[in-house]
Structure 1
Amino acid sequence: MTAAEQNVESLRDLAVEAAALKLLAERVATSRKDVQARTQRALDAAAERDGVERVAATLPGGETVATISLRKGETGPVVVDEDAFARWVRTTFPDEQWTETAIVRRVRPWKAVELLAEMAAAGAARVVVAEQVDETTGEVVVEAVVHDVPGVVIKPTRARTHAVTWRKGGKDATAEAWRTGALAGQLAALTAGEEEAAA
């Protein structure tokens, strides 16, 4: 066999490996998305039912290789009606240039961040406008006022998720369990035919 023929054979081997790895990557991505969703639902249910927020990942042989932990979501103020929010800012702070007019009025981004942070701290779509004092006389000209802010609601801003924390040697042990077939049941979808994988 000539060197050129060896190179062709090598290229053929690489082509098969590339095709196989592409298929495996696609199936891993699909399986991973599916198991993440199922794990999240199970963790959410366990947390609500029993207060469980983490679970050990244990191989069939009994070795714990990782911990799956629930990460709580976040709730905060979200502008749902930019126009209503901008009109409120303009009306409430008429002497400030915190809004800009284009086709619609919008709150300048830096001021929106500041106001939303105040609402996040309050846990409500509410802003306290401080009292105004006459600098000459020291007299209170305008009392402090609490405003319910239109166009903003408090709602989840980041969904609950979970994270995998590997134990020392856990990755190697998992790889070995995969190599020896100990995880064949858990990873069957990766080698199943399309009809089996879709079922």
Structure 2
Amino acid sequence: MTAPEQSAESLRDLAVEAAALKLLAERVAVARKDVQARTQRALDAAAERDGVERVAATLPGGETVATISLRKGETGPVVVDEDAFARWVRQTFPDEQWTETAIVRRVRPWKAAELLAEMAAAGAARVAVAEQVDEKTGEVVADAVHDVPGVAIKPTRARTHAVTWRKGGKDATAEAWRTGALAGQLAALTAREEGTAA
């Protein structure tokens, strides 16, 4: 037994709905990226100026539906010159096989992660070496601290922000959208794009 065929009218309705939702999704993606960038700039400015790190999202009727909170970025060690870093590891730990030689010498990923974690904990591109032999004098140097070439402390994750919904906030926002209360905020989604025919 075959499934009943979809009526032509119903198929046309689905086609229009699919096309409209595709257009809406594309415009929402562009609008979301734009509002995220503007919100981040505004939060960064408010945090620097007034120490504000969160703001309430309140509907035109006065109901608070969500909180927008600033998330701080992270700073840590980043290898900026792999060759210089590998040369330093090879010279500092000559008896260890922590580097690989191809066309360029590289630190094995597990050891690089270990050294970068130590630098992250120290907050500087420095590593304490418990015991090392000075190649020129043959003297054993204990507890030497090395500035590590090829590594810099720099931002590893940008500051961002997050939306935390309050209980019932999504439903209230959807209702405000449905009734047109958010028409001003969402006008760009249905506005004619420049360069399109009238």
Is the Cα–Cα contact under 8 Å of residues 71 and 162 in structure 2 kept in the other structure? yes
> How many residue pairs align between the two structures?
198
**Which TM-score applies when normalising by structure 2?**
0.91
State whether structure 2 residue 42 is matched by structure 1 residue 42.
yes
Q: Secondary structure at the match of 1:177?
A: helix
Q: 1:151 to 1:133 in 2, by over 3 A?
A: closer
Q: Secondary structure at the match of 2:38?
A: helix
1:140 positional shift? 6.5
CA–CA distance in 2 between the matches of 1:56 and 1:69? 9
Is the Cα–Cα contact under 8 Å of residues 74 and 159 in structure 1 kept in the other structure? yes
Unaligned runs of 5+ in 1: none
User: CA RMSD of the aligned region, Å?
Assistant: 4.1
Is the Cα–Cα contact under 8 Å of residues 189 and 196 in structure 1 kept in the other structure? no
CA–CA distance in 2 between the matches of 1:107 and 1:73? 27
Q: Secondary structure at the match of 1:131?
A: strand
Q: 1:141 to 1:24 in 2, by over 3 A?
A: closer
Q: Secondary structure at the match of 1:13?
A: helix
Q: Describe the superposition over 1:72-113 as per-residue Cα deviations: whole angstroms up to 9, x where unpaired.
A: 000000000000000000000000000000110000000000
CA–CA distance in 2 between the matches of 1:139 and 1:82? 29
Q: 1:141 to 1:126 in 2, by over 3 A?
A: closer
**Correspondence for 1:53:** 53
1:8 positional shift? 1.1
Q: Secondary structure at the match of 2:52?
A: coil
Q: 1:137 to 1:99 in 2, by over 3 A?
A: closer
Q: 1:197 to 1:126 in 2, by over 3 A?
A: farther
**Correspondence for 2:82:** 82
Q: Secondary structure at the match of 2:176?
A: helix
Q: 1:70 to 1:124 in 2, by over 3 A?
A: same
Q: Describe the superposition over 1:124-173 as per-residue Cα deviations: whole angstroms up to 9, x where unpaired.
A: 000010136999999976453x1000000000000000000000000000
Unaligned runs of 5+ in 2: none
Q: 1:172 to 1:12 in 2, by over 3 A?
A: same
CA–CA distance in 2 between the matches of 1:136 and 1:34? 59
Is the Cα–Cα contact under 8 Å of residues 75 and 156 in structure 1 kept in the other structure? yes
1:195 positional shift? 2.0
Q: 1:109 to 1:2 in 2, by over 3 A?
A: closer
Q: Secondary structure at the match of 1:130?
A: strand
Q: 1:177 to 1:196 in 2, by over 3 A?
A: farther
Percent identity, aligned pairs only, is 92
Is the Cα–Cα contact under 8 Å of residues 189 and 197 in structure 1 kept in the other structure? no
CA–CA distance in 1 between the matches of 2:156 and 2:104? 25
**Which TM-score applies when normalising by structure 1?**
0.90
Is the Cα–Cα contact under 8 Å of residues 72 and 159 in structure 2 kept in the other structure? yes
Is the Cα–Cα contact under 8 Å of residues 100 and 107 in structure 1 kept in the other structure? yes
Q: Give every structure 1 segment of 4 or more consecutive aligned residues whose post-TM-superposition deviation is greater than 4 Å.
A: 1-6, 132-143, 196-199
